[in-house]
């Protein structure tokens, strides 16, 4: 029986997800896992759990840039700010969801992330997204048309709902074997889990889950 895939929940809005994505193909290959990109709407995740995005907190918005810039330097990854942030990622997410073949979808995710965060291009409008599609060898007209169909719009919604049901609350999140690993800084933990060296025991987790609370913030 083939091992389950690494399901990478992504939203192009997140520079952390961009930096994690760059590392995912090699990580998946090292552990004999297929990589399955899953476009989800970060805003939908945040709304469902009653949270806000980092860019909605002024001090955190500045820190996010500083941290992701430094991570990109460590990774040797190209890093250029897009024309605006936050931006509307919905069309890019829907175009991604419109690609059924996982290998082709993986190629498209790389192209869109590279355009937004590697080259500093916009990926919001049909013209912007269409240009990236054509450069990556896709049929831009056909994919843009499919992206606005009810079927594909619903696919992004379902992806988001399914991710929430599995405990996802942000991006990037990697879902594998019933576990969820959140954030670019969790990729080392993911590797140890895949190697069978996860230090977390069911007993320790159960104790945390049943630990009582004696204070609350109003």
- Angle at which helix 102-113 crosses helix 126-135, to 10 degrees, equals 120
Q: Which domain holds residue 15?
A: 6-209
**218, pLDDT greater than 90:** no
Which residues make Cβ contacts (< 8 Å) with residue 11, sequence separation at least 6? 17, 39, 40, 41, 42, 89, 93, 171
Q: CA 184 to CA 186: how far, in whole Å?
A: 5
CATH number at residue 90: 3.40.30.10
Instruction: Please report whether residue 214 resides in a domain.
Output: no
Residue 7: which of 147, 163, 188 has the closest Cα?
Answer: 163
Q: What is the pLDDT of residues 3-22, one digit of tens each?
A: 899 999 999 999 999 999 99
Instruction: Please report whether residue 48 resides in a domain.
Output: yes
What mean pLDDT is predicted for residues 161-187? 97
Instruction: Please report whether residue 20 resides in a domain.
Output: yes
Instruction: Please report whether residue 111 resides in a domain.
Output: yes
Instruction: Please report whether residue 138 resides in a domain.
Output: yes
The whole-model pTM stands at 0.96
Element spanning 187, H or E: helix 187-194
Q: What is the pLDDT of residues 151-166, one digit of tens each?
A: 999 999 999 999 999 9
Instruction: Please report whether residue 217 resides in a domain.
Output: no
**2, pLDDT greater than 90:** no
Q: Which residue has the tokens 């190209």?
A: 78
Average pLDDT over the chain, rounded to an integer: 97
pLDDT band at 1 (very low <50, low <70, confident <90, very high): confident
Q: CA 89 to CA 125: how far, in whole Å?
A: 9
Q: What is the pLDDT of residues 34-84, one digit of tens each?
A: 999 999 999 999 999 999 998 899 999 999 999 999 999 999 999 999 999
Q: Is 35 helix (H, G, I), strand (E, B) or coil?
A: strand
Question: Is 65:36 a contact under the CB 8 Å cutoff?
Answer: no
């Amino acid at each position: 029986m083939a091992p389950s895939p690494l399901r990478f929940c992504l939203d192009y809005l997140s520079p952390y997800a961009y930096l994690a994505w760059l590392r995912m193909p090699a990580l998946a290959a090292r552990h004999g896992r297929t990589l399955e990109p899953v476009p989800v709407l970060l805003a939908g995740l945040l709304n469902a759990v009653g949270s806000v995005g980092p860019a909605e907190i002024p001090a955190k918005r500045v820190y996010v840039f500083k941290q992701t810039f430094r991570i990109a330097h460590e990774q040797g990854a190209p890093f250029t700010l897009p024309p605006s942030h936050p931006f509307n990622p919905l069309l890019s997410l829907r175009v991604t969801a419109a690609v059924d073949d996982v290998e082709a979808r993986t190629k498209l995710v790389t192209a869109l992330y590279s355009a937004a965060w590697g080259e500093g291009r916009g990926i919001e409008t049909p013209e912007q997204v269409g240009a990236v599609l054509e450069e990556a060898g896709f049929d831009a007209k056909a994919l843009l048309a499919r992206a606005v169909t009810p079927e594909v719009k619903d696919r992004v919604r379902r992806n988001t709902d399914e991710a929430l049901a599995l405990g996802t609350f942000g991006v990037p999140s990697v879902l594998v074997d019933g576990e969820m690993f959140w954030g670019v800084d969790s990729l080392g933990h993911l590797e140890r889990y895949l190697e069978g060296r996860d230090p977390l025991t069911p007993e320790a987790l159960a104790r945390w889950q049943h630990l009582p609370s004696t204070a609350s913030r109003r």
